[in-house]
Amino acid sequence: MHSSLFSFLVNHVHVFIKQLTTHIALSFSATILAILVGLPLGIWAYQQSSVRKIILSITSVFQTIPSLALLALLIPILGIGFKPTIVTLMFYALLPITRNTYTGLSQLPKETIEAAIGLGFTRWQRLRMVELPIATPIIIAGIRTATAMTIGITTIAAFIGAGGLGTFITEGLALNDSRLILLGAIPTALLALIVDYIIAQLEFSLSAQKRQQLRLKKTKLTTIILLAGFFIFSYGKYGSNNFFSKSKNTIVVASKNFTESYILAYLMSELIEKKTKLHVINKFNLGSTAVIQNALLKGAIDIYPEYTGTAYIAILKHQRILSPRKTYKIVSVEYKKRFNLIWLPPFGFSNMQTLAVTKYFSKAHHIKTLSDLSKISSQLTLAAPAAFLKRGDAFPALQNAYHFKFKNIIQMQPDLVYDAIKNKNVQVIEVFTTDARIQAFNLKPLKDDKNIYPPYYAAAIIQSNILKKHPEIRSALEPLFGSISEKTIRQLNAAVTLQHRTPKAVAHQFLMEKGLLS
């Protein structure tokens, strides 16, 4: 089912334009916000030597915070989507704008300032008529840096469901589709270059050839109109498409950023759409458990598929490993009590995390269990996502039980670990037992012979008040409960990660074949 590149592009043209305009709207809003904040800050730093150091260091510090971390920190305050993204991007764009404003102003010729004072300019008149105009080229240069940078960083918006070109990149990673990654990466780079060029023109026309007033005004005007038009167009587009104000009969279905979560979310979203009168909005591809949990608590999303084990350990912070059934019971009770969230019945399959090696390697070294692996671990390199390596229930728990001594441990995106083992860069990776790539890549998941790791049930979590208000959601999803076996989910996963079909199409076909849409 490999579609040709051409049909791939044709299929994506609509969503591409949407994400492109979203991307422009996000990065421009953030840059404009950064100008509105950064310019006064720079002026303040220039006029008040007492606050100068503080302002310049704080703006610098913002830039050293990893963007994803800043985003995650803002979620509890601002929720997911548009707002935290803009604020995060704004903080990043702040430094070049503030610093250049300050630098531009502080490098003004002394005699010019003296003349302005001596001629009786007030402080404000001096700033407006003399200091800012002369510093403008340097300030514009700062804005230029900020804009180009912001366009690049806006790709992180995808992690918290704000859209933009980054969506293609994260989707591409989740779905193992490099065409999607390129569809996100190349236009992002091009956009940054084009905007940089436009602003460079503006910068040039402001700095040089000032004597040709007429020409200057024309260029300046054209550029500004062009930029403004660009912005307004994008904003309007974005507004109509994406600025969702949740109406009463809207339900937001979310997913995490890997294939299985996508498929489950699409199954739910299509059933709710077809079987109820509710309007469904999909907010897929949300960064991590913390992000999606916060989004649910903030009411930014209503329902998403989760694993009991993850909830049990990552959210509820339990340590003792219990049977799958007991785990499900505990998370249901505690989620209701603590968060007023309801766990719907499990989909049927359970998914386990474990370590895997290649079948060839397993045979060659007689490794079948994690205990076997431990014996030779000092010669091996492990690749796994950060969540697995750092979460107490995951790798540290295994480490405690099996005493691994890996030569090297590499932290990686969930989907890149498969490439890593395929390319023989590493010998051991972390896998989900339902992942289709286990078969496709000839991997051998190792048995957790000390039973450290609980099998995870997959089930949907929904806001309790939504379920009360719309009990029809439960009935709509009823056919999915207990009906997806491990074999089924592995096949569905394979259709996406190996045959490069969209999760939406795979989910749809499954529902059709099961006769659930009639």
Q: Which residues bind another protein (CB under 8 A)?
A: 109-112, 114-122, 125, 129-130, 133-134, 210-211, 213
User: Is residue 479 packed enough to be buried (19+ CB in 10 Å), middle (13-18) or exposed (0-12)?
Assistant: middle
Taking the complex as a whole, the smallest distance from the CB of residue 123 to another protein amounts, in Å, to 9
Taking the complex as a whole, the smallest distance from the CB of residue 85 to another protein amounts, in Å, to 37
Residue closer to another protein by CB (options 123, 363) is 123
Cα 8 to the center of its chain, rounded Å: 23
What are φ and ψ of residue 444, in 5° steps? -120, 105
Residue closer to another protein by CB (options 133, 229) is 133
Residue closer to another protein by CB (options 140, 149) is 140
Residues 6+ apart with CB under 8 A from 17: none
Residue closer to another protein by CB (options 133, 239) is 133
Query: In 308-385, at which residue ranges do the beta strands (DSSP E only) sit?
Result: 341-343, 350-351, 353-358, 381-384
Taking the complex as a whole, the smallest distance from the CB of residue 140 to another protein amounts, in Å, to 13
Residues 26, 20: Cα–Cα separation, whole Å: 10
456, β-bridge pairs? 351
Contact predicate 88/156, CB 8 Å: yes
Residue closer to another protein by CB (options 117, 226) is 117
The half-sphere exposure of 364 on its side-chain side, counting CA atoms within 13 A, is 7
Residue closer to another protein by CB (options 118, 515) is 118
Taking the complex as a whole, the smallest distance from the CB of residue 145 to another protein amounts, in Å, to 22
Residue closer to another protein by CB (options 194, 216) is 216
H or E stretch at 247: none
Taking the complex as a whole, the smallest distance from the CB of residue 265 to another protein amounts, in Å, to 57
Three-class secondary structure of residue 136 per DSSP:
helix
Residue closer to another protein by CB (options 2, 110) is 110
Contact predicate 48/104, CB 8 Å: no
Residue closer to another protein by CB (options 6, 124) is 124
Q: Which of 384, 314, 310, 312 is nearest to 354 (CA)?
A: 384
Residue closer to another protein by CB (options 120, 515) is 120
Taking the complex as a whole, the smallest distance from the CB of residue 99 to another protein amounts, in Å, to 22
**31, 59, 105, 228, 290 from 55: Cα distances, Å:** 18, 6, 15, 29, 31
Q: What angle do CA 360, 364, 370 make, to 5 degrees?
A: 85
Taking the complex as a whole, the smallest distance from the CB of residue 138 to another protein amounts, in Å, to 13
Taking the complex as a whole, the smallest distance from the CB of residue 126 to another protein amounts, in Å, to 10
Total residue length of the chain: 518
H or E stretch at 323: none
Residues 12, 187: Cα–Cα separation, whole Å: 13
Taking the complex as a whole, the smallest distance from the CB of residue 197 to another protein amounts, in Å, to 24
Taking the complex as a whole, the smallest distance from the CB of residue 34 to another protein amounts, in Å, to 25
Residues 120, 130: Cα–Cα separation, whole Å: 12
Residues 210, 24: Cα–Cα separation, whole Å: 31
